[in-house]
């Protein structure tokens, strides 16, 4: 693992192998790997899941990047280890000042770590804004449906509020808004726009710092009304 990190360092810095290895050990230490000097000589498969993810973060940060992209960094990990890794990413971000793009399917992870959020559906963004605000008050039917379907949202209800249907194939996207076959609110849009016109990004009426791709005239009111009715 140390060799890999050292190599990545040497690709961008004219230093000797020894210096690069020293840097690799420092990085392993920084991400909380015990006995970094010794562990630098271990292979990735000799690490536990959590330690391997720490080592990957060390590899990602060794050249002081301005941007770190983490694709489902904790999905394969258990919750107690996930919590450690997310803490680590948060701490290192403060220390290094890198920006982080965290790609995840877990809305709760976003709620606890991200500043901003872009919600994607079938290859396109559908809602963006401050992470906390979006999750507290979604304004796109897909974001809303996802949040409603979480078990934590209907703890003592017999039935979860599921989104119907299945995600479309990217080879054969629905016409108009890709979400329309699964959207419960399309009938509240005048005409057949949802079936025929791909919605452009626009600010959500009534909310600041928020954009959606949806044809609803007043999505906030529509979704609030729905939540009240349920």
Partner 1 sequence: MSDKTLLKVTDLQRHFPFREVQGLKMVKATVKAVDGISFTVKEGQTLGLVGESGCGKSTTSRLVTRLDEPTGGTVEFEGRDITHLKEHELREIRRNVQMIFQDPYSSLNPRQTVGAILTTPLRVHGLHKGKEKARVQELLALVGLNPEHINRYPSEFSGGQRQRIGIARALAVEPKLIIADEPVSALDVSIQAQVMNLLAKLRNELDLAFIFVAHDLGVVRHFCDQVAVMYLGKIVEYGDKKKIYEAPEHPYTQALLSAAPDINVARGIAPKERIRLVGDVPSPIDPPSGCRFRTRCWKAQDICAQQEPPLVSATSEESTRTFREGGVHLQACHFPEVKTDLVAEVEHSA
Contact 130, 115 (CB under 8 A): yes
3 vs 219: CA distance, rounded Å: 53
Helix axes 219-229, 141-149, angle to 10 degrees: 30
From the list 49, 125, 181, 205, which residue makes contact with partner 1 (rule: CB under 8 A)?
49
Q: What whole-number distance in Å separates Cα of residue 206 and Cα of residue 218?
A: 8
The smaller minimum CB distance to partner 1, of residues 12 and 44, is found at 44
Q: In the complex, what is the shortest distance from the CB of residue 91 to partner 1, in angstroms, rounded to a whole number?
A: 12
> Which one of residues 135, 177, 189, 216 is an interface residue with partner 1 (CB under 8 A)?
135
Please, what is the minimum distance in Å from the beta carbon of residue 96 to partner 1? 21
- Contact status: 40 vs partner 1 (CB under 8 A): no
- Nearest CB to partner 1, comparing residues 21 and 85: 85
DSSP state of 180: G
Residue 143 tokens read as: 């974001």
Residue 224 near partner 1 by CB under 8 A? no
Residue environment code for 23-43, b if the CB has 16+ CB neighbours within 10 A, otherwise e:
bbbebbbbbbbeebeebbebe
Site map (CB under 8 A) of partner 1, residues 94-133, x = contact = -----------xxxxx-xxx-----------------xxx
Pairs from 194-202 (Cβ < 8 Å, separation ≥ 24): 201/125
Please report how close the Cβ of residue 104 comes to partner 1 at its closest, in angstroms: 10
Of 37, 63, 90, 149, the residue at the interface with partner 1 (CB under 8 A) is 149
**Sole window of 56-64, 89-97, 163-171, 211-219 interacting with partner 1 (rule: CB under 8 A):** 163-171
Enumerate the H helices of 31-130 as residue ranges. 36-39, 49-61, 79-96, 107-113
- 50 is a site residue for partner 1 (CB under 8 A): yes
Q: Which of 83, 118, 122, 197 binds partner 1 (CB under 8 A)?
A: 83
Instruction: Tally the C-alpha atoms within 13 A of residue 150's C-alpha that lie toward its C-beta.
Output: 12
DSSP 42: S
Q: Please identify which residue in 14, 16, 79, 228 interacts with partner 1, judged by CB under 8 A.
A: 79
Nearer to partner 1, 6 or 114 (CB): 114
* Contacting residues toward partner 1, per CB under 8 A: 48-51, 78-84, 86-87, 105-109, 111-113, 131-136, 145-147, 149-152, 154-155, 158-164, 166-167, 182
């Amino acid at each position: 693992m140390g060799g890999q990190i050292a190599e990545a360092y040497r690709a961008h810095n004219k230093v000797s192998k020894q210096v690069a290895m020293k840097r690799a050990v420092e990085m392993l230490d920084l991400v909380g790997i015990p006995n970094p000097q010794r562990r630098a000589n271990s292979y990735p498969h000799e690490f536990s899941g959590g330690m391997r993810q720490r080592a990957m973060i060390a590899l990602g940060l060794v050249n002081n990047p301005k941007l770190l992209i983490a694709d489902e960094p904790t999905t394969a990990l258990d919750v107690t280890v996930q919590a450690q890794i997310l803490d680590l990413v948060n701490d290192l971000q403060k220390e290094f000042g890198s920006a982080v793009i965290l790609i995840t399917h877990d809305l709760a992870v976003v709620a606890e770590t991200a500043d901003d959020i872009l919600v994607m559906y079938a290859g396109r963004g559908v809602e963006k804004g401050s992470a906390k605000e979006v999750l507290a008050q979604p304004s796109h039917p897909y974001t809303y449906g996802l949040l409603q379907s979480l078990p934590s949202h209907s703890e003592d209800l017999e039935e979860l509020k599921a989104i119907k249907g299945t995600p479309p194939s990217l080879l054969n996207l629905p016409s108009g808004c890709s979400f329309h076959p699964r959207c419960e609110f399309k009938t509240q849009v005048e005409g057949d726009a949802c079936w025929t016109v791909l919605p452009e990004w626009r600010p959500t009426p009534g909310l600041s710092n928020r954009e959606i791709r949806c044809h609803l005239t007043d999505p906030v009111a529509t979704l609030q009304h729905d939540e009240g009715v349920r």
